[in-house]
Amino acid sequence: MIDHGISRRGFLAASAGTAGLLAAGRPVFAALQKPASPVTLNVVDVAGNLALTQKAIENYRKAKPDWASRIVFSKAPAPELPGKLKAQQDANRVDIDLVLTGTDVLSAGIDQKLWVNLLPERAGDLPKLSDIYLEPAARMQGLAEGQGVVVTYYPSGPLFEYAPERVKQVPKTAAELLAWAKANPKRFAYARPANSGPGRTFLMGLPYILGDKDPKDPVNGWEKTWAYLRELGETVEAYPAGTTPTMKALGEGSLDIIVSTTGWDINPRVLGVVPKSAEVFAVENFRWVADAHYMCIPRGVSAEKLAVLLDLMNHLLTPAQQAYTYDEGYFYPGPAVKGVTLAMAPKESQDAIAEFGRPSYDKLIADHPIELPLAADKLVQAFRRWDEEIGGRKGK
């Protein structure tokens, strides 16, 4: 993932008995048990989410030093974390308190029973999520099966990003994209879906674009998709392990078209990894496949830390803290909570999006349906099949 800068945040109007009501002009958090002494929290990010939430998490420590004395941040490759966490749990030595993840590790963790059940068990310690979330974010919450809480959301993709000085005939359909890739071998690529937001969005978006039998069933409903990916794969030199190498390759000129999303289009151009002049396109029959980041608590975390983590979740779902998630466009727009506007974000966020955002995204979002990603078990199946049948032909 890209190393982005910091993020930005704030304040929430939430639900009965939980966070976000105003008292004396200050936020009131859920009535959770304060720890006997401040705790140290270890937060692991496998999705690039700290670009959106780190400042907000640090704001929590500053606001409640008697709850959290120190917060340690680290990043890990998504495919490696479930195995590491399982080993810690088997040894009864869990040292990870909070995981910030996309649907990939969320799904793997549900599959392997790595996460604490938060809903409905802890519903009274959290905002009433259905009341505070944007409608697609509320639908994304359903994918967590009660084992994670959405913290950021965006419509995602799949979009295609290209160098206009090198691509003169922009494909308008999936068939035209395949024809372009065959005519320009090794000039198109995407990253391994199990470790790439754009990669997995492309994987899940293709069944809609191609008119497959059942876009929600990668085993029995994706006949056209798997055939297309195999044929497209004949033109691809390699599938990078993450998204960042594809962005660098586009910027350096070794690739001409890559798979992207709204955030992966905006943020690398802000950072100068990709030229500002890069353009994007969507193909015929395009539908958004939404994406979100989740807060997940591993099984084995102490009860005392669990209370602090739930309190932190309340804090992160307030509109003021959500406003930081606009960041520099990495997960554009970013907020999962209703009523959080760009005008509430820090000036650097507003400036970055004013310069590098695309007004066309508002129309694309308005004009095309927003679909949910695959359910956890189906996503695991899709990753496994892609790794075996598509990525396995090339290595990663």
* Residues 357-380: tens digit of each pLDDT: 999 998 999 999 999 999 888 998
How does pLDDT run across 98-151, given as a tens digit for each residue?
999 998 899 999 999 999 999 999 999 999 999 999 999 999 999 999 999 999
What pLDDT score does 165 carry? 97
Instruction: Report whether pLDDT(6) > 60.
Output: no
Predicted confidence at residue 45, as pLDDT, reads 97
Q: How confident is the model at residue 58 (pLDDT cuts 50, 70, 90)?
A: very high
What's the confidence (pLDDT) of residue 394? 67
**pTM: predicted TM-score of the whole model, two decimal places:** 0.83
Question: Does pLDDT of 26 surpass 50?
Answer: no
Q: Map the chain to HEC letters.
A: CCCCCCCCCCCCCCCCCCCCEEECCEEECCCCCCCCCCEEEEEEECCCCHHHHHHHHHHHHHHCCCCEEEEEEEECCHHHHHHHHHHHHHCCCCCCCEEEECHHHHHHHHHHCCECCCCCCCHHHCCCHHHHECHHHHHHHHCCCCCCEEEEEEEEECEEEECCCCCCCCCCCHHHHHHHHHHCCCCEECCCHHHCHHHHHHHHHHHHHHCCCCCCCCCCCCHHHHHHHHHHHCCCCCCCCCHHHHHHHHHHCCCCEEEECHHHHHHHHHHCCCCCCCEEECCCCCCEEEEEEEEECECCCCHHHHHHHHHHHHHHCCHHHHHHHHCCCCCCCEECECCCCHHHCCHHHHHHHHHHCCCHHHHHHHHCCEECCCCHHHHHHHHHHHHHHCHHHCCC
What pLDDT does residue 79 have?
87
pLDDT at 13 over 90: no
Q: What value does the mean pLDDT take over residues 288-301?
A: 97
pLDDT above 70 covers a percentage of the chain that reads 92
